Structures are given as structure tokens and as C-alpha cells.
Structure 1
Amino acid sequence: MAKDVLLEIGLEELPARFVDDAENQLAVKTEKWLDDLRVDHGPVTSFSTPRRLAVLVEDVAEEQTSIREEARGPAEKIAKDEKGNWTKAAIGFTKGQGKTVEDIYTKEVKGTTYIFVEKHIVGMDTAELLPGLRDVITSIQFGKNMRWADQTLKYARPIRWMVALHGNEIIPFELTGVRTGNRTYGHRFLGQEITIGQPAEYVNALRDEHVIADAKEREQLIRDGIKEMERKENFRIPIDEDLMNEVRNLVEYPTVFKGSYEGQFLELPPEVLITSMKEHQRYFPVKSVEGELLSYFIGVRNGDERFLDTVSKGNEKVLRARLSDARFFFEEDQKNSIDFYQEKLKRVVFQDKLGTYHDKVVRIAEITAKLAELLELNEEDTQAAVRAAEICKFDLMTNMVNEFTELQGTIGEKYARNLGEEEQVSKAIGEHYMPKQANGELPSTIPGSIVSLADKLDTIVGCIYVGLVPSGSQDPYGLRRQAAGVLRILKQRQWDVSVESLLALTRTLYQSLDLNLENEENAAAELEEFFKLRASYLLREMDVEQDVIQSVIHKEIGVIDYTFAKAAILSDKRTDEEFKVVQEALTRVLNLAGKTSETEVDPAGFETESEHVLYEKVLQITDPYKRANKEKDAEKAMNLLAELAEPIHAFFDHNMVMAEDERVRSNRLAMVNAIAVLVNEYADLRAIEWKQSF
């Protein structure tokens, strides 16, 4: 009879950011472990709180599935000698399979007769296998594993108890000195020790002791509490999903409460108040129906509604102290000028080999000026961008950013505006850190976009020049995220400039500096490869196939939005049966190209009508094709190339390209090369695994 299995790992409080992934790992690894052991089972459900990770597997079979396996041995001619007796090879084979020569039978496989034996592997009792769940526990990886006391196991937090049940029987094993049992623990302050009789009792037994084991249920309770608070108080509580995800993993029994702070703190920038509440206290800010920030906050208590007023007052006291500090920092910062903070940048190192933050700002300003010139920006945008670049890091030296690092850029924008900088300049300072996450918001202004590009290019090129190339999960300067940001900004702005030209512009600046560029020799190639990998990642997010990606960035990334447009077209054509004739024609040209470097065609040297027809078609489509490329019309450019398909096939059908006559051969190769140049401007179609060849 099938029984349920429960496994719970009791821990000291896990960091909230570890909980969801660890819960998912436990569920996936447990299911895979059972499947690999051929143990049939029903649904697998996982649970988590800050103090526990658990998995419940329903209807676990009493024993492994028995299987019959056919083992193939040597060929019959090897298994038997001249007299028809079994050889040592046959005897050794059967012995190794736990059989005898009496069990041998023969079968023909691809024209050769082999010997076989059939094995019947009887399934073991599941109860004998379940102690192996210990290995599932040790296989869970966290964002940071540590060794605790004298234990050899590295884990996010020490293991304090383990529940392991098969029906009502304890699954016996030990880990870090903790033995499995049937006892778990309720809420740290409101609950008691619990004895679990059957796995199915787990969720309700915990609920009775003030623990909601299902993270999604805890989240829904929080959302319901917020909605009730909105209805009751007639205000709005914007829900930050990242904060919600964190809060639900900080509590085992959530109760929503309201707190307030003095209205005088509303004189601070809203971003300061919101950051103080969200990042430092894990509160949800409160707004009016009209969207104005109000002097209230919403917190989530790890407990029930008893003494909630006392809890609210305690939280108000903590927040009041935090906001008082913020107000002090804000007022002190206003006493100084931008130049004061700029001077302090000279004493703070950005990177040992790349100098101070002042040095970095000088480079950002120079790259910004060069970008503005390359992109032919108007004078107003150029001046705003350059000024923003010159002061883009000054807020790093303010008290406010020192206390609230999340506000870098935001405080720069606020202070610059207060200190009389133009609106475009102030806005660009705030935007130059964008995007702050891989898929985060992009700058909304041209100066902000330019300074953001300059800052990111400086960081990426500089780090790679001094040998700080990201490897594996190690990327302390966030170069991958910043490279993705560069590509996304270029795509959004649709600027007609290649990624490679921006890298060349930045490399030229670095080569003029008096720096110890230990990786200078390999930097150019590493930079281009690094950006190609980021471009590939972004294209994969658009569901573009890997072979199409390789075809459009085979030489370079180029103008990013056009490259992405070509990838989309080719991804669609890749499954178009009607495109087969075009693909074959263009690929034939690419395969033959390169036999000569000549691209000048002499029509007087043609010997057949098909040569004339193809040459005329090439002349006819060349200028429109180049215009389509310049205008970044990917579909029109491909359609023009497709017009070459029929005359290309006729050309190959009626002409020997590698003719014996050297003059004829060279002329035909020159025409092939000329067409290949056009095709390669679009993509290397040879890289694509067309549907027709699957």
C-alpha cells in the first residue's frame, strides 16, 4: 500500500533571499531522486518558512519498480569457437551479468548476430532506500554556504532538527549530529513542539501552532490585509513585488499593521522616505488616492494581532530615528557645493589600476563628448550631456548616499536641481545608472542615455584592459549587466552606430592614458567577444534560435537594432518552406566565395546568357539593397537578396565556375565574390540550421 513521505529541514532563520530557491531545489531534487530510483509516487508539494524547508510526497510506492533488461554481449563468432563451444568471452560476459551460458540467446543486429541474456532486476523496498534522502539535503546549494562550528557540511544556516516520515514510520538517518524524528516546532514565540503522526497532518499541525507553511498562502494573507487596510483607511498602498517576496519569507504567521510618522518628515525627498521604509525597515509606503505620499507605513508582523498597538509604536520609534538621521544628513549636505563633493572624489579609489572616481569622471566626460560628436547630437543635448558627465558621481560623497547607497544618482539629481543645474543635466545624473537591473528601466532623455553609455563603456573597457574579465559567477563590477545595458540603450534609441565603433572609441581613449594596461594586447578581441555573448543572451530572450544568432553576429554585432531586426526575419524564414530555394542559392554562393579576392567583374568576359542575366540582376538590386541596409529595413533587404536566387541557380546549372580558362574562371569567381559580399552584409546564412535540413 502506498504511503506518503514527509521531509522537513529545521534551520536557524534563513536569509529571505535564499528561501524560494532552496524550497524549489528541495522539491525538484526529491522528485528526481525518487524517479531515478524507479519509485512511483504521486504529487510533490513543497513548503518553506524562514525556519524550515519541507517537501511532502504523496502515494509513494512500497517498492521500486522491477525491470527486465536485455544485455548484449559479443558477436556470436567471438562467443563460440570452431567446435561451437562457448568461449571465455561468452562465459565471462554471462558471469558478469549474474547469469550462465544456459541463459544465452542470439539476435541479429544490423546484419551481425550477437549473444544476449535477459536480467530481471527485482525492486528493493522503498523503506530501505529512503535514508538516502540525506543526500538530497546535502545537495541543496545556497547563495552563500558556510561551515558552522565543527561541522564539515557547508550550509546557509545550522540544521537544528529534521522530520523524516514514511507513513507513520521515522526514516532513520543523521546529519551534522542531528537525527531524524517526527517532532517539529511551531512559531518561535506563539507555538509549541509538535509531534507529526502522519505526513498529511503536517500543514494543519503547523497552522495550529501559528505557522503557515505555504509561502503563497502567507503572501495572500499579506495582500488581503493590505487590501482591507486600504478599504478601511481610504488610502493606497503600492505593492513592490520584490519587497512582498522578501516580507513573506521573513515571517511564519503574518499580520498586517499600520504605523505613522511625523508629517514634517514629508519635507524630505519622497525617494529618501520610501527607501528608508522599504530597504531598511521592510515597510510598504502609503499614498493618498491622488498619489501623494502620506505619513503612514504598513508593516507585517511575524505573529498574531495581540498587542498590535505596542508593535506599531515600537516600529514607529525605529522609523522615527531612521528618518531623523536622514533629515540630518539631508540638511548637512545642503551646506556644500557640487565642487566641494567633486574635490572629495579625488581621494576615493574606483579601482587600483584605474585610479580614483575623479579619474573615472574625467574619462566619462571625454567619452561623452566623443559619443555626442559621433552621434551628431544637437548643441543643447551635447552641452547637457557633457555637464552631466562632469558631475555625475558627485553625490557619492554626500552623507545621504553614504547612508542610503541605493539612492546614488537619485540624490545626485535632487541635489543638482536644488543647486541650480539645468533640468536636463539634473535628469541625466539621475538616469546615468540606468538600467539598474538586467531588464530595468532605461534612461528617458538623450543626455541621460549618453552619460549612461559613457559610464558603462568606461567601466567595461577599463576592467577588461586591466584583466578583470568576468568568469563563472564572479563579476564584482557587474560588467555583464552593464554590457546588456549598453546594448538595450542602443536598441531603444535606434542610433545608427555600431557597437564595435563605440568600443574602438573607448579603447582609443584608454590607449592614450598613462595606465598599466596589462591585458592591452588581448583586450580588443575579449571586448568584442564579451559583447557578442551579451547580444546572444538578449536575442535568446527574444526566442531567437542560437544558429540564427550566430549568423547575424558572425563578423560583428554592428548596429544593434538592425541586427536584432535581421535576426527576427531569419528566425521566421528559418521555418518557411518557400524560402528553401533562396537559402540554397545564397549558401552555394557563400560556400564558393573566397577562391579569389577579386570582385571586379568584366561583362565582356561572359560566355553564357545566364552570366549576363545574373550580372544584370546584381546591378539591379545592389543600390536598393544598400539603401535598405542603410535605412535598416531588414525585410526589404532580404527580399532583394531573394531576387538573386533564380538567376544564381541558373548560373550554376549552366556554367562551370572553376573553368580551365583562367580568365573565365577568375571572372566567374569575381561575380560570386561580389554577391557574397552583399549576402555577408546581412548574415552568414551558412550558420543557420534550416528547417528543411532537420
Structure 2
Amino acid sequence: MNKDFLLEIGLEEMPAKYITASAKQLKERATEWFKEKKIAVSDIETYSSPRRLTILAKDVAIKQEDQIEEAKGPAKKIAFDEKGDWSKAAQGFARSQGVAPEDLSFQEIKGTEYIYIKKEVKGLETSILLPEFKKIITDMTFPVSMHWSDCDLRYIRPIKWLIALFGTEVIPFEVAGVKTGNETRGHRFLGQNATIHSPADYEKALLEQFVVADADARKEAIREQIAEIETIQKWNIPADADLLEEVNNLVEYPTALFGDFEEAYLELPEEVLITTMKEHQRYFPVFDQENRLLPHFITVRNGNHEHLDMVQKGNEKVLRARLSDADFFYQEDLKMTIDEAVHKLKNIVFHEKLGSLTEKMKRVQKVALLIADYLSWDEEQKKDIYRVTDIYKFDLVTNIVGEFPELQGIMGEKYARLQGENEAVATAIREHYMPISAEGELPKSDLGSLLAISDKLETLISFFCINIIPTGSADPFSLRRSAFGVMRIIQANEWNLPLAEVLAEIVGIERKEGFSELPSEEVYQVAQNFMKNRLRVILRGHDVRQDIIEAVVGGDPNRIPQIIDSAKVLNESTNDDWFRPTIEALTRVTNIAKKYEDHEAVDPSLFENDYEKELFDSVQELKRDYPNMTIVERLKRFAKIRPIIDNYFENTLVMSENEALKANRLALLVELSTFIREFAQMDEIQVK
């Protein structure tokens, strides 16, 4: 008869932002263990709270599946000694398999007979194997971990109790001096310890001790309570999935309530108020039906409805102190001019090997002007570049940003507007930080987009110059995120920047600043490969085949929107009838041409047949039309040229003994190959 298995890891309060991922990790490790051990299980549920990570495996088989194992031993020719008895090799193989030599047989494999054994292995009882969950617990990894007492184990927080229950049987093992049992702990203040007699009792037993163990149920309860307050008060409380997730992982028994703050604080910028409430206090801001911020907040108590008036007053007092500080900082900031703030940036080190923030901004200005030239920006647009790159980091020395770092850029925009900066410059100050996450919002303005990619590219190349390059999972300066952001911004704006050339020129800018721990060519190659890898990630996100990814990324990562469009078009065309013969023909051209890059201009007077002329005319048409063609049109043109290529090869000996004819024919193929390779490295595409 199957049984349920309950594993609860009881801990000191964990950081809220790591609980959901940790519960998921525990489930994944348990799932893999049951699969590896060939123990049937119908489902694995997870429970979590600030003080516990739990799995409940349903209908677990009481023993492993029986298995048939097969093994190949030594060749038959060495299985017997000169007397015809089993050799030492055969006897050793039999011992290793736990059988007698008489149980051995022979099987022919690729013309040679080998000793062969096929045996039935009875599955072990599940209860014998479950103590291995000790290793599952100790092998878990966390973004932060700690030692405690004299324990050698590093863990997210100290382990205080353990439950390992298979049916009604306690599975015995010990982790960090804590032995397994069947007793859990309830709410720290409202509950008591509770005995779990069977896994099915777990959720109910904890609820009786004021713990809602099901994280989804707890979250839904919070959502419903907030909605009820919203309806009664006729407020508008916008959904905030991230804040709800964090609050949910801060409480075990949620009770929502609201509080107030003085209307005078509404004079502060809305972002300051919201950040104070959300980031510092984990409160939900309240708005009216016209989406105007109101002097109220919602908070969630880890407890019941008793003494809510005192809880409300306590939260109001804490928030009032926070807002009072914010108001003081804001008023002090208003006394400082942008120029005074910029002057202070000289004393802030960007990196010990890369100078101050002032020096970084000067380098970014050079990069921004470089990119602006590639984008054909006029002198009027460049005036905004000069101004914004002179000042765009100034808010880092303001009091508000010092207290609320998450407002960098946001307060810069507000202070810039208050001090008369134009719309484009003020907006770009905020947008240059974007995107702040892999899927974060992108800049909407041209100047903001230009400043964002200039700042990020300068950061990348300057760090590469001093040999700080992300390896494995180590990326302390978030350089991967910066590169990914550059790619996304370029793609969104459809800026066909020749990125390879831009990277090379930025390397030159950084070298002139004296950053030279690596040779220029090595820095350039590191940058190229780094950007290629980010481009691969983007293309995988579009479900592009890996061989096609390598085909479009294989050269220099140059005009990003074109590369992405080429990958999509190729990926969508793989099942078309024309695709395979076209790729094969184009690959044949490039394979020949890449060995003969140096060539003279094609001389039509040397053509010996109409097939040469037809291909030449097609290449000239392609050369004329290519710059104005869409990606789809380019691929269709290649498909149209394909039979002309086939006829050319069938009727023309490229490697003629006549050196003049040979050189002329190779020159034609090299000219065609230039367009093919700009589109993709066709030899990377698998068409067999």
C-alpha cells in the first residue's frame, strides 16, 4: 500500500525574496531523487512560510521497482583458462555482478562474443532509502547562507527542527545536530508546537496553530483582504505582483489593515512616497479612482485581528518618521544646483582603475558622439548629447538618492526639470538606466536610448580593458545585463549600427585613456564574443534553431536588427521546398570563395559561356538592390539566383588551367559570397 511522505525543514526566519525559489528547488531535488531511485509517486506538493520549507509527496510506492540489469564483461576468448575453467577475469566479473560464474552467458556484439549477464534486481524498501533526503537538504544552494553555533553546514538560516514522516513512520536522520521527528512549530507568537501524526494532517495541524502553510492560499487570502478594504473604502489599490510575493513570504497568518499619513507629505514627489512605502515598509500605496495618490496605505500583519488599532498606530508612526526624513532630504536637495552636484562627482570613484564618475561621463560623451555620427544625428541633436553627458549622473550625490538608491535617474529627471533642463535631457537622465532587468522597460526617447547604450558600452569596454571579464556565474558588475540591454535597445529602435566597427572604436577611446591591461585586439575579441553570446540568448528566446543562430552570429555581430530578422526568416523557411537546395548552392559558393578573398574586378570580356554572364548579371542586380531590400526579399532573391548558380557550376570549370579565367571566375564567386556571408554563414545550417 502506498504512503505519503512529508519533509519539513524548520528554520529561523528566511529572507522573503529567496523563499519561493528555495521551495521550488526543494521540490525539484525531491522529484529528481524519486525518479532516480525508481520510486513511483503521484504528485509532490510544496508548502512554505518564513520559517519552513516543506514537500508532501503523495502516494509514494513502498518499494523501488524491480529492475532487469544487463552487463557486458570480458571477451569470450579470455573467459576460460587453458584447462577450460573460468578464467580469473570471468570470475572477477561474476563477483562484481553478484552472481556465480555458472550464471554467465555469452552474446555476440559487432562480430565478437562477450561474457554477458542479465539479472533481476529486487527493489529496496522506500523507508530504507528515504534517509538519503539528508543529502538533499544539505546539498541545497542559496544566494545567501550562514554558519551558526559550531556547525560546519552553511545554510540560508539555522535549522531548528526537521520532520521526515513516511506514513506514520519517522524516517531517522540528523542534519546540523537536529534529529528528525514528527513535531512542527506553529506561529511564533500565536501558535504552539504540534505533532503531525500523518502527512495528510500537516496543513490542518498548522492552520490550528495560526500558520497558513500553502503559500498560494496565503497569497490569495491577502489579495482578497486587500480587495475587501478597497471596495469598502472606494479606493484603488493597483495590483503589484512583486510586492504581494514579498509580503506573502513575510507572514504566516496574514491580516490586512490600513493606516494614514499626513496630507502635507503629498507635496513630496509621488515616487518618493511610493518608494518609501513599498521598498522600505512593504506597504501597498492607495490611490483614488482618478489614480491620484491618497494619504493612506495598506499593510499586512503577521497575526490575527486582535489589537489592530495598536498595530495601525505603530505602522503609522514608523512611516511618519520615514516620510519626515524624506521631506528633509528633498528640501535640502532643492538648495543644490546641478552644477554643484556635478562638481561633487569628481570625488566619487566609479572604479579604482577607471577613475571618477566625472571621468566616466567624459568617456561616455565621446562614445555617444561616435554613435550619433553613425546614426547621422545633426548638430542640434548633438547639443543635447553634450549637455546630458555633462550632467547625467548628478543625482547620485543627492540626499534622496543616497537614502533611496532605487530612485537614481528618477530623481535626476525631476530635479533636472525643476532646474530648467529641456525635456529630452531630463528624460534621458532617467532612461539611461533602462532596462534595469532582463525584461525591463526600455527607453522611449532617442536621446535616452543613445545615452543608455553609450553608458553601457563604455562600461563594458572599460572593464574588459582592465581584464575584468565575467566568468561562469560571477558577474559582480552586471556586465551581462548591460550587454543584453544594449542589444534590446538597438533592436527596439531598429538602429542598424555596424556594431563591430563601433566596438573597435570604443576600444580605441578607452586605450587613449590609458586602460591597457590587455592588448587592443584581445579586448575587441572579448567584446565581440561577449556580445555574440548575448545575441544568442535573444535568438533562443525567439525559438530559433541553434544551427541557424550560429549561422547568423558566426561573423562579426554587426547590424543587430538585420541579424535577428535574418534568423527569424531562416527559421521560418526551413520546411519550404526551396530551402535546402538554396542553402546548399549558397554554401558551395562561400566555401570556394573564402579561400580566395584577394581578387581583381570581374572582367565580363573573359566569360566563355552564357551561364557566367547570367550569374554576373544576377550579382550586379543584387548589388544594386541589396541595400534597399527587406530581409525576406533578400532571401527570396537568393532562392531566385540558386538555379543560376547550379547552372553555372554545371557548365563552368571554375578552377580552369587558364589562370586568367580561373581568377575571373573566382572573383565573381567572391563578389556573390560577400552578400551571402553578410546575410548568414550558410555552411553552419544543417539541411541534411
Q: TM-score, normalised by structure 2?
A: 0.96
Q: 1:313 to 1:380 in 2, by over 3 A?
A: farther
Q: Helix, strand or coil: the match of 1:119? A: strand
Corresponding residue of 2:357: 357
Q: Helix, strand or coil: the match of 1:160? A: strand
Deviations 1:308-363 (A, max 9, x none): 12111110100000000000011111111111111111111111111111111222
Q: Does 1:542 align with 2:539?
A: no
Q: Which amino acid aligns with 1:465?
A: C
Q: Does 1:250 align with 2:244?
A: no
Q: Which amino acid aligns with 2:399?
A: N
Q: Which amino acid aligns with 2:677?
A: N
Q: Does the 8 Å contact 2:578/2:639 carry over to 1?
A: no
Q: Does the 8 Å contact 2:508/2:520 carry over to 1?
A: no
Q: Helix, strand or coil: the match of 1:462? A: helix
Q: Helix, strand or coil: the match of 2:113? A: strand
Deviations 1:257-314 (A, max 9, x none): 1111000000000000000000000011111100101111111111111111211111
Corresponding residue of 1:198: 198
Corresponding residue of 2:608: 607
Corresponding residue of 1:627: 628
Q: Does the 8 Å contact 1:464/1:519 carry over to 2?
A: no
Deviations 1:544-602 (A, max 9, x none): 22221221121211111111111111111233343111111111112222343325333
Q: 1:69 to 1:517 in 2, by over 3 A?
A: closer
Deviation at 1:514, TM superposition (A): 4.2
Q: Does 1:415 align with 2:411?
A: no
Q: Does the 8 Å contact 1:599/1:671 carry over to 2?
A: no
Deviation at 1:518, TM superposition (A): 4.9
Deviations 1:405-449 (A, max 9, x none): 111111111111111222222111111111111211111111211
Q: Does the 8 Å contact 1:466/1:519 carry over to 2?
A: no
What is the 5 A alignment of 1:71-220?
71-80=71-80, 86-220=86-220
Q: Helix, strand or coil: the match of 2:414? A: helix
Q: Does the 8 Å contact 2:41/2:60 carry over to 1?
A: yes
Q: Helix, strand or coil: the match of 2:578? A: helix
What is the 5 A alignment of 1:314-333?
314-333=314-333
In 1, Cα distance between the equivalents of 2:124 and 2:332? Answer: 73
In 1, Cα distance between the equivalents of 2:368 and 2:616? Answer: 46
Deviation at 1:480, TM superposition (A): 1.1
Q: Helix, strand or coil: the match of 2:336? A: coil
Q: Which amino acid aligns with 1:434?
A: M
Corresponding residue of 1:668: 665
Q: Does the 8 Å contact 2:427/2:448 carry over to 1?
A: yes
In 2, Cα distance between the equivalents of 1:146 and 1:520? Answer: 42
Deviation at 1:384, TM superposition (A): 2.2
Q: Helix, strand or coil: the match of 1:180? A: strand
Q: Does the 8 Å contact 1:252/1:302 carry over to 2?
A: yes
Deviation at 1:84, TM superposition (A): 6.0
Q: Helix, strand or coil: the match of 1:643? A: helix
Q: Helix, strand or coil: the match of 1:556? A: coil
Corresponding residue of 1:427: 427
Q: 1:129 to 1:310 in 2, by over 3 A?
A: same
In 2, Cα distance between the equivalents of 1:297 and 1:607? Answer: 85
Deviation at 1:165, TM superposition (A): 0.5
Corresponding residue of 1:241: 241
Q: Does the 8 Å contact 1:184/1:195 carry over to 2?
A: yes
What is the 5 A alignment of 1:26-41?
26-41=26-41
My pick for the range that moved more, 497-506 or 635-644, is: 497-506
In 1, Cα distance between the equivalents of 2:567 and 2:308? Answer: 58
Corresponding residue of 1:403: 403
Q: Does the 8 Å contact 1:165/1:199 carry over to 2?
A: yes
Q: Does the 8 Å contact 2:277/2:284 carry over to 1?
A: yes
Q: Does 1:448 align with 2:445?
A: no
In 2, Cα distance between the equivalents of 1:621 and 1:514? Answer: 45
In 2, Cα distance between the equivalents of 1:363 and 1:606? Answer: 54
Corresponding residue of 1:486: 486
My pick for the range that moved more, 520-529 or 244-253, is: 520-529
Corresponding residue of 1:263: 263
My pick for the range that moved more, 617-626 or 489-498, is: 617-626
In 2, Cα distance between the equivalents of 1:207 and 1:439? Answer: 38
Q: Percentage identity across aligned positions?
A: 44
In 2, Cα distance between the equivalents of 1:501 and 1:663? Answer: 35
Deviation at 1:476, TM superposition (A): 2.0
Q: Which amino acid aligns with 2:524?
A: A
Q: Does the 8 Å contact 1:599/1:673 carry over to 2?
A: no
Q: Helix, strand or coil: the match of 2:554? A: coil
Corresponding residue of 1:653: 650
Q: Which amino acid aligns with 2:672?
A: I
Corresponding residue of 2:43: 43
Q: Which amino acid aligns with 2:581?
A: V
Q: Does 1:689 align with 2:686?
A: yes
Deviations 1:71-101 (A, max 9, x none): 2223334435688654443333223222233
Q: Does the 8 Å contact 1:239/1:284 carry over to 2?
A: no
Q: Which amino acid aligns with 2:676?
A: V
Q: Does the 8 Å contact 2:507/2:520 carry over to 1?
A: no
In 2, Cα distance between the equivalents of 1:363 and 1:71? Answer: 66
Q: Does the 8 Å contact 2:462/2:515 carry over to 1?
A: no
Deviation at 1:661, TM superposition (A): 3.5
In 2, Cα distance between the equivalents of 1:171 and 1:686? Answer: 58
Q: Helix, strand or coil: the match of 1:660? A: coil
Q: Which amino acid aligns with 1:650?
A: N
Q: Does the 8 Å contact 1:467/1:519 carry over to 2?
A: no
Q: 1:610 to 1:376 in 2, by over 3 A?
A: closer
Q: 1:246 to 1:665 in 2, by over 3 A?
A: same
Q: TM-score, normalised by structure 1?
A: 0.96
Q: Helix, strand or coil: the match of 1:146? A: coil
Q: Helix, strand or coil: the match of 1:162? A: strand
Q: 1:518 to 1:602 in 2, by over 3 A?
A: closer
What is the 5 A alignment of 1:274-289?
274-289=274-289
Deviation at 1:609, TM superposition (A): 3.9
Question: Can you give the 5+ residue segments of structure 1 that lack an aligned partner in the other structure?
Answer: none
In 1, Cα distance between the equivalents of 2:369 and 2:274? Answer: 35
Q: Does 1:618 align with 2:619?
A: yes
Q: Helix, strand or coil: the match of 1:120? A: strand
Deviations 1:19-51 (A, max 9, x none): 011101111111211221121222111111010
What is the 5 A alignment of 1:489-638?
489-515=489-515, 517-518=517-518, 520=520, 522-596=522-596, 597-598=598-599, 600-628=601-629, 633-638=630-635
Corresponding residue of 1:644: 641
Q: 1:57 to 1:599 in 2, by over 3 A?
A: farther
Q: 1:540 to 1:419 in 2, by over 3 A?
A: same
Q: Helix, strand or coil: the match of 2:137? A: helix
Q: Helix, strand or coil: the match of 1:155? A: coil
Deviation at 1:502, TM superposition (A): 2.6
In 2, Cα distance between the equivalents of 1:432 and 1:342? Answer: 17
In 1, Cα distance between the equivalents of 2:524 and 2:203? Answer: 58
Q: Does the 8 Å contact 2:465/2:515 carry over to 1?
A: no
In 1, Cα distance between the equivalents of 2:264 and 2:144? Answer: 41
In 2, Cα distance between the equivalents of 1:57 and 1:269? Answer: 50
Q: Does the 8 Å contact 1:23/1:48 carry over to 2?
A: yes
Q: Helix, strand or coil: the match of 1:289? A: coil
